[in-house]
Amino acid sequence: MTPIVSVNPDTGESVELALEETSPNEVVQLTERASSIASDYASRPLTWRAQLLRAMAEELEADAPALVETAKRETALTQMRLEGELRRTAFQFRFFAGVVLDASFLQASIDHATDSPMGPLPDLRRLRVPLGPVAVFGSSNFPFAFSVPGGDTASALAAGCPVVIKAHPAHPATSLATFEALRRAARAQEAPEGLVALVFGVDAGVALVEAAPIQAVGFTGSVAAGQFLWRRANDRPTPIPFFGELGSANPLVVTSAAAADQAASIGAGIAASMTLGVGQFCTKPGLLFIPSNADGDQLVTTLVGELRTLSTMTMLSSGIASHFRSGVSDLSNIPGVHHLVTSDDGAGAHVGAHLFEVSDAIFRDPSAHRLHDECFGPLALIVRYGNSAALATALEAAEPSLTLSVFRGATDPDLTWLLEFAQSRAGRVIVDGYPTGVGVSWSMEHGGPWPSTTSPSTTSVGAASVERWLRPVTYQNVPDEFLPEALRDNNPLGVPQRVDGVPR
Amino acid sequence: MTPIVSVNPDTGESVELALEETSPNEVVQLTERASSIASDYASRPLTWRAQLLRAMAEELEADAPALVETAKRETALTQMRLEGELRRTAFQFRFFAGVVLDASFLQASIDHATDSPMGPLPDLRRLRVPLGPVAVFGSSNFPFAFSVPGGDTASALAAGCPVVIKAHPAHPATSLATFEALRRAARAQEAPEGLVALVFGVDAGVALVEAAPIQAVGFTGSVAAGQFLWRRANDRPTPIPFFGELGSANPLVVTSAAAADQAASIGAGIAASMTLGVGQFCTKPGLLFIPSNADGDQLVTTLVGELRTLSTMTMLSSGIASHFRSGVSDLSNIPGVHHLVTSDDGAGAHVGAHLFEVSDAIFRDPSAHRLHDECFGPLALIVRYGNSAALATALEAAEPSLTLSVFRGATDPDLTWLLEFAQSRAGRVIVDGYPTGVGVSWSMEHGGPWPSTTSPSTTSVGAASVERWLRPVTYQNVPDEFLPEALRDNNPLGVPQRVDGVPR
């Protein structure tokens, strides 16, 4: 049995928790338990489900001081950031309570029996039903909002699915404490026991993806771990959907006109965005396309100056910091790459901000493909471009991404081509803004083309994230008493229905 | 160069067409051509797109006599069936014109900038955009409705995606003639050249799945071919979604009360459904759960009698018939399986109907797992069950399926458990009806859990099939003039929009 250790990345101090890694057998038992209560949970009224989600928000808020304290010790993130993140996490549960009550995710549709050019059609009614038990992998970088009580857990519960969660090893105590808050809420609402479950350990994670009762996986993390687990999900005797939100370089383009208008403010803004949360955001702007002219020089000078004022920062774990240092060293060794801001990174989890620069010609050279990878942490690579044509070619060489940001100026020529390109290569297109804020809302898309996500038609943030955990079923000629209530003619739940093709 | 041969399965006569298999290079060129016009096509107004789909319906109808004649020669399906299928195919294009104009598939959502418990949120607007060029594989069994001019092609064009189609080798002349009808319509509407393209040959099919510009694949066909291509799609440097609609045994349950009430009519109905189109339907009822009592005996007697009246039938090709004969021989050799109806199948594409019977105990024995596979053609396997508990165990042993049908009687006890089971194991649940009719409508689901489909959250028939070809994009703080029209505040297209969380 391997005990679980909680490490303070700032001091290196470690505490052994009264917890062990979950054995593959225990993982299977938890998923079987989840499976045994899946239909009970799915059949609870939508109003009850919404109340459960609100109760979870309340339990998290009630525990806020202790949760923030624990997370601070395990992640080295600031008090203010963690307080904000916990507010967001509670908000997220309430938001999904609203999504449940809105009920449009059910896509309820009723076609009464009719004649058609194909001949008579029977009574057909379609509804999206919960998939059953799903697995959620907590991320390292958001110990609340993308972890045990994160968006994947909230959206899966909103969809009507039991959730078995794999804790991220960088914050086991936070994972356990937040899990206990969710479970308290579930018990207080008399949810079926085992609706949420928690497992620890790498082997437990693999066993979870492979456990027969699991019907889908939500994952937020690295490209390497995500693609490994995605393959496992596909190699099962019964493959299951794997919704992986992986890394992304998040290109940010500054047009010549934008550099002319606001070099200093954009330079300062980029410095803040790329080092927010020690650069540990999926949406950190990691690739900066800046014109190679005097205005671009001024922007870079401001950016460099801002980064140099920063003191050493603490990453989420020494392992993550060590990976970051490798990334820095790799970039430093590529011919033609200039290291504009360099820091003495010290040891353990402590690192400084880094800034690199290349020409567009070197960036688009196939031999320099490592330049295109995300480096998780406070680092960005500037690509200096000569003109729009060079910009277009360099952008074309970059990988698709979660986001693509464009800063424009008052005198810009037509930007249609750039925004069309952005739309074809990213899940979120941003004008005159930084990508690091990811609001929870009806209109948020937090997914992008491969390799930034494994399933580009889905999102892990926002109302549409609930759709990942559902599967449509059509009921043909099924008598009223056996139909799900959402599909009955008298619509006792008052859910949105499309009736004979017309939305009601 | 391998010439393409059109074979009449009835006579064995073959004609060499003035066509060759498409080389992998040509496949890549066609997909690059499709890619080059994708954004032109995607930007055409929805009204124009709807008009294109209607024009395609008209061209197919204008050619109906010649198309039916050609298909009859290549498939041995009846004139009446093919005329009906072509009507359905044209209807399908018009139906998708309606789906385009309805525009709810865009999921347009506008969240104006606001304050939230997470702090200020920027203006966020979300829309589903076309994926780009997609591949469609024509099936053998529906030379119109699931082939070149089939639902996958119509729904992808409705979504705004160019389509490169792989013709099924069993009906190349029909594939070419229907393709020419679609292309004539596209040219008459001044669609960009290359919007629809056609390729021939097995190697061309693999090259198509692997071609870099292709963004998704729609496939209807066998489990073996579908899973092979699904793996190829996942093994690409950039994996793409593969929407495979594969085989399915389609369990049909007759309760004791139903057998008591209507043994004769259900027996006759099953005989008609399982031999419709020579049993070459994805939704053929292939597994019949019938009580082992006197009423069940009477039902089986009727079914046997009906099947024995049938003369020899012609399958779609001698290859498919040869596969069918192997399936018959495999089943005959499993201990405990009774061959109730057997026919002298003759040679070539000619076969007779077959009916087998086992006890529930043998069916659920793991060593008899071959009993659970679909056998494509006019064949069914009866599972005789003793009581509800035995039925439940036997059903549990069957694979998930596209459909599950239940015939009930006036005196049935509670059927809730059976319909809940059906919902968990099938995409379409049918009461007192046969699964072989698959209407094109808003409420149709033609997909089921793995292995009946590779992507159980989607459908290849009905309005929702258009969703497979789309990807959401969020526009953050994007000025009005650069926004897609569907996301503008003044809603010039009049599409359904969700505004600040409220559907309009």
* The dihedral sign for the CA sequence B466, B243, B185, B77: negative
The answer to whether residues A494 and A395 belong to one domain is no
Looking at residue A367, what is its pLDDT? 83
Which positions of B are catalytic?
245, 282
A33 lies in a domain? yes
CA dist B312 and B278 (Å) reads 10
pLDDT at B344: 72
Which residues on B lie below 8 Å from A109 (Cβ)?
A: 442-443
Residues A228 and A343 in one domain: no
Q: How many CB atoms lie within 10 A of CB B216?
A: 25
CA-only gyration radius of chain B, Å = 24
Q: Which residues of chain A have pLDDT under 70?
A: 345
Chain centroid to Cα B42, Å, comes to: 25
Contact residues, chain B, for A464 at CB < 8 Å: 107, 126, 472
Chain B residues with CB under 8 Å of A424 CB are 39, 132
The predicted pLDDT at position A119 comes to 85
Q: Which of B420, B451, B473 lies at the smallest CB-CB distance from A429?
A: B473
- Give the span between the Cα atoms of A339 and A329, in whole angstroms: 10
Chain A interface includes B319 (CB < 8 A): no
Contact of A420 with chain B, judged by CB distance below 8 Å, is answered with: yes
Taken in order B485, B490, B495, B501, the sign of the CA dihedral is positive
Q: Do A472 and B433 touch (CB under 8 A)?
A: no
Listed as ranges, residues in chain B with pLDDT below 70 are: 345
B239 and B267 share one domain: no
Touching check for A90 and chain B: CB below 8 Å? yes
Q: Which two tokens stand for residue A439?
A: 């609001």
Quick check: is B175 in a domain?
yes
- A450 within a domain of the structure (yes/no): no
Q: Could you read off the pLDDT of B215-224 as tens digits, one per residue?
A: 999 999 999 9
- Residue among B21, B88, B64, B148 nearest B438 (CA): B88
By Cβ distance, the residue of B433, B467, B479 closest to A431 is: B479
pLDDT confidence of residue A139: 96
CB-CB under 8 Å, A441 with B472: no
Q: Is B451 helix (H, G, I), strand (E, B) or coil?
A: coil
Nearest to B445 among A426, A455, A472 (CB): A472
Strand positions, DSSP E, B304-400: 313-314, 338-341, 350-351, 354-359, 379-385
Any chain A CB within 8 A of the CB of B117? yes
Are the Cβ atoms of B426 and A501 closer than 8 angstroms? no
Given a contact cutoff of 8 angstroms between Cβ atoms, the answer to whether B226 and B219 are in contact is yes
Q: Say if residue B257 is in the same domain as residue B190.
A: no
A356 within a domain of the structure (yes/no)? yes
Could B464 and A126 be called an inter-chain contact, meaning their C-beta atoms sit closer than 8 Å? Answer: yes
Contacting residues of A for B428, CB less than 8 Å apart: 473-476
Q: What is the pLDDT of residue A328?
A: 94
Is the minimum CB–CB distance between B478 and chain A shorter than 8 Å?
A: yes
* B242 and B255 both lie in a single domain: no
Parallel, antiparallel or unpaired: strands B502-503 and A426-431: unpaired
Q: Which residues of B touch A423 (CB under 8 A)?
A: 129, 473
Classify residue A18: in a domain, yes or no. Answer: no
Mind listing the pLDDT tens digit for each residue in A6-19? Answer: 999 999 999 999 99
Of A240, A416, A445, the CB nearest to B474: A445
B441 and A503 in contact by Cβ < 8 A?
no
When CB atoms are compared, the residue of B424, B432, B474 closest to A443 is B474
C-alpha–C-alpha distance, residues A358 and A372, integer Å: 12
How many CB atoms neighbour CB A308 within 10 A?
Answer: 15
DSSP letters, B393-449, are: HHHHHSPPEEEEEEE--TT----HHHHHHHHHHEEEEEESS-TT----STT-----S
Quote the pLDDT of residue B302: 98
Residues 6+ apart with CB under 8 A from B357: B300, B337, B338, B340, B381, B382, B383, B384
Quickly list DSSP for A238-249.
S---EEEE----
**A277 and A365 fall within a common domain:** yes
Q: Is A260 found in the same domain as A221?
A: no
Chain CA centroid to CA B439, Å? 11
**A45-54 pLDDT, tens digit each:** 999 999 999 9
CA distance A121 to chain B (A): 6
A294/A425 same-domain check: yes
Q: Which residue of A lies nearest to B428 if distances are taken between CA atoms?
A: A474
User: How far apart, in Å, do the first and last CA atoms of chain B sit?
Assistant: 57
Residue A8: the pLDDT is 97
Closest residue by Cα to residue B195 from B228, B161, B242, B244: B161
Nearest to A99 by CA among A439, A496, A503, A487: A496
Residue B8 forms part of a structural domain: no
Interface of A with B in 483-502 (CB under 8 A): 496, 498, 500-501
Question: What is the total count of domains within chain B?
Answer: 2
Find the residue in B nearest to A497 (Cα).
B443
Q: Which chain B residues are within 8 Å of A241, Cβ to Cβ?
A: 455, 457
DSSP-assigned letter for residue B191:
P
Q: In a 10 Å sphere around its CB, with 0-12 CB exposed, 13-18 middle and 19+ buried, how is residue A350 labelled?
A: buried
Residue in B107, B430, B500 closest to A476 by CB:
B430
- A64 has a chain B CB within 8 A of its CB: no
Domain that holds residue A384: 251-431
Q: What is the pTM of this model?
A: 0.97
pLDDT at residue number B412: 86
Residue of chain A whose Cα is closest to the Cα of B231: A234
A198: in domain: yes
- C-alpha closest to that of B38 among A34, A423, A142: A423
**A367 domain-assigned:** yes
CATH number of A487's domain: 3.40.605.10
Give Cα A314 distance to the centre of its chain. 22
Is the CB of A482 less than 8 angstroms away from the CB of B426? no
Say whether both A35 and A114 belong to one domain: yes
pLDDT of residue B400: 95
Q: Does A332 touch chain B (CB under 8 A)?
A: no
Q: Are residues A287 and A200 in the same domain?
A: no
CB contact under 8 A, B471 and A456: yes
Rounded distance between C-alpha atoms, residue A81 and residue A277, angstroms:
8
Q: What is the CATH number of the domain that holds A364?
A: 3.40.309.10
CB contact under 8 A, A498 and B442: yes
- Contact call for residues B35 and B339 (beta carbons, < 8 A): no
Tell me the count of A-B CB pairs closer than 8 A.
Answer: 217
Q: Does A369 touch chain B (CB under 8 A)?
A: no
CA distance, residue A301 to nearest chain B CA (Å): 27
Q: Which of B430, B442, B444, B460 to substitute to test the interface with A, most A CBs within 10 Å? A: B442
Q: How near does any CA of chain B get to the CA of A381, in Å? A: 23
Cα B368 off chain centre by: 28
Identify which of A239, A416, A500 has the shortest CB distance to residue B450.
A239
Return residues 14-33 of B near A (CB < 8 Å). none
Q: Last residue of a domain, which of A391, A415, A431?
A: A431
User: Would the CB atoms of B118 and A88 count as touching at under 8 Å?
Assistant: yes
pLDDT at A16: 95
Half-sphere exposure of A68 (CA within 13 A, CB side): 17
Claim to verify: residue A87 and residue A57 sit in the same structural domain: yes
* Interface check B409 vs A, CB under 8 A: no
Q: In terms of domains, do B288 and B230 share one?
A: no
| For A112, nearest residue in chain B (alpha carbons) | B443
At residue A494, the pLDDT reads 96
Crossing angle for the helix pair B79-102 and B151-159, to the nearest 10 degrees: 20
Active site residues of A: 245, 282
Among the partner-chain residues A451, A457, A501, the one whose CB lies closest to the CB of B471 is A457
Q: Search chain A and give the residue with CA nearest B35.
A: A424
Cβ <8 Å between B456 and A475: no
Residue A291 contacts B, CB cutoff 8 Å:
no
